[in-house]
Structure 1
Amino acid sequence: MITETANRLKSAAPLLSQTTALNDLRLLSHGGTSRRHFNVTGQLSAKVPPTPKPRERVEIPGLEKITWGEKMHYALGLAKPVYPKWERDYKDPRHYNSPPLQEMPLYKEQTCYVFSQRSSVLEGVRQALWLTKANLTAGLPPQILSLAHDPANQIPDQDERVQDVIKRARFWDTTVRRPRKPQYCHTLLNNLLHLCGSLQSTHPALGKRMLSENYTLCVTWERGEDLFQVRGKNGLLLNSMAPLAPLAGKQEVQSTTENVLETFYPISPAIDLQKIHAYKRDNYTGFKDDYPYPHAHTLYFLESGEVIPRLHPPQLRAKMIMFAYGNALARAHRLYGPQPQSILDHPITVQAVGTNGRQFEFVVFQLNTTDLRDDQGIKNQVWLDEDNLLYDFAKVRPLIKKKVVKVPAGLSGYHPETFSKFLALYLHGAVKDGIIAE
Structure 2
Amino acid sequence: MRLTLCLRAGIRDCTVRNWNKVWACRGKFYDPPAKIPQSLLDRGVEVVDMTHEKPKLKEWMPPVPDDPRFVKAIPPQEQPDWKEEPAFVHKDDVRLFEGVKQACLIAKAQHFESFPPCVEQTIGAVETSDRDLLLQRAIMQSQVWNTDEDKLPKPPTDPRKPIWKWKRKYGITRLKSSLILLRNLLRMAHSHVADFPSLSNRKQISDLPFYSYIMYKDKPIVMQETLDLLLTSDQMLPLFGDEADIDASVMHKIPDMWPVFPTVDFLETNNYELSNDTGFRKDGLFTCPHTIVQVPRKTHWESQHYQAAQVMTCLQYTAALARNRFGEDVRILPEPICVQHVMVEQTRLFFTFFQEDVRILPEPICVQHVMVEQTRLFFTFFQLNTLDLGSDTGIKNLVWTGPVGQLFEKVQGQPWMPRPLKFDKLENFDPTAYENFLAVYLSGLSELQRPFQASDLS
Q: TM-score, normalization: structure 2?
A: 0.73
Query: Is 1:167 matched with 2:140?
Result: yes
The aligned runs of 1:11-22 (5 Å cut-off) are none
The aligned runs of 1:188-337 (5 Å cut-off) are 188-303=181-296, 305=298, 311-337=301-327
Measure, in 1, the Cα distance between the counterparts of 2:258 and 2:5: 63
Change beyond 3 A, Cα 1:100–1:154: same
Determine the structure 2 residue equivalent to 1:81: 55
Measure, in 1, the Cα distance between the counterparts of 2:440 and 2:59: 61
Worse-matched range after superposition: 132-141 or 153-162: 153-162
Unaligned runs of 5+ in 1: 13-33, 56-63, 68-75
Task: Kindly indicate whether the alpha-carbon contact (under 8 Å) linking 2:214 and 2:316 is maintained by their aligned counterparts in 1.
Answer: no
Q: Equivalent residue of 2:121, what SS?
A: helix
Task: Kindly indicate whether the alpha-carbon contact (under 8 Å) linking 1:343 and 1:378 is maintained by their aligned counterparts in 2.
Answer: no
- Residues 386-430 of structure 1: CA deviation (Å, up to 9, x unaligned): 4321113467x7x69987967997542111211100110011112
Query: Is 1:129 matched with 2:104?
Result: yes
Matched to 2:310, the amino acid is M
Matched to 1:162, the amino acid is L
Identity of aligned residues (%): 24
Determine the structure 2 residue equivalent to 1:347: 364
Which of 443, 454, 457 is equivalent to 1:428? 443
- TM-aligned CA deviation for residue 103 of structure 1: 3.7
Task: Kindly indicate whether the alpha-carbon contact (under 8 Å) linking 2:290 and 2:367 is maintained by their aligned counterparts in 1.
Answer: yes
Query: Is 1:148 matched with 2:138?
Result: no
Change beyond 3 A, Cα 1:84–1:363: same
Q: Equivalent residue of 2:143, what SS?
A: helix
Measure, in 2, the Cα distance between the counterparts of 1:406 and 1:140: 38
Matched to 2:181, the amino acid is L
Measure, in 1, the Cα distance between the counterparts of 2:146 and 2:288: 34
Matched to 1:365, the amino acid is F
- TM-aligned CA deviation for residue 85 of structure 1: 5.7
Change beyond 3 A, Cα 1:234–1:266: farther
Query: Is 1:385 matched with 2:407?
Result: no
Q: Equivalent residue of 1:366, what SS?
A: strand
Measure, in 2, the Cα distance between the counterparts of 1:170 and 1:147: 29
Change beyond 3 A, Cα 1:46–1:229: farther
Determine the structure 1 residue equivalent to 2:350: none
Measure, in 2, the Cα distance between the counterparts of 1:267 and 1:144: 36
Task: Kindly indicate whether the alpha-carbon contact (under 8 Å) linking 1:117 and 1:234 is maintained by their aligned counterparts in 2.
Answer: no
Worse-matched range after superposition: 352-361 or 311-320: 311-320
Change beyond 3 A, Cα 1:285–1:11: same
Unaligned runs of 5+ in 2: 31-45, 150-169, 335-361, 451-458
Matched to 1:212, the amino acid is I
Matched to 2:236, the amino acid is P
Change beyond 3 A, Cα 1:155–1:95: same
For the aligned residue pairs, the C-alpha RMSD in angstroms reads 3.7
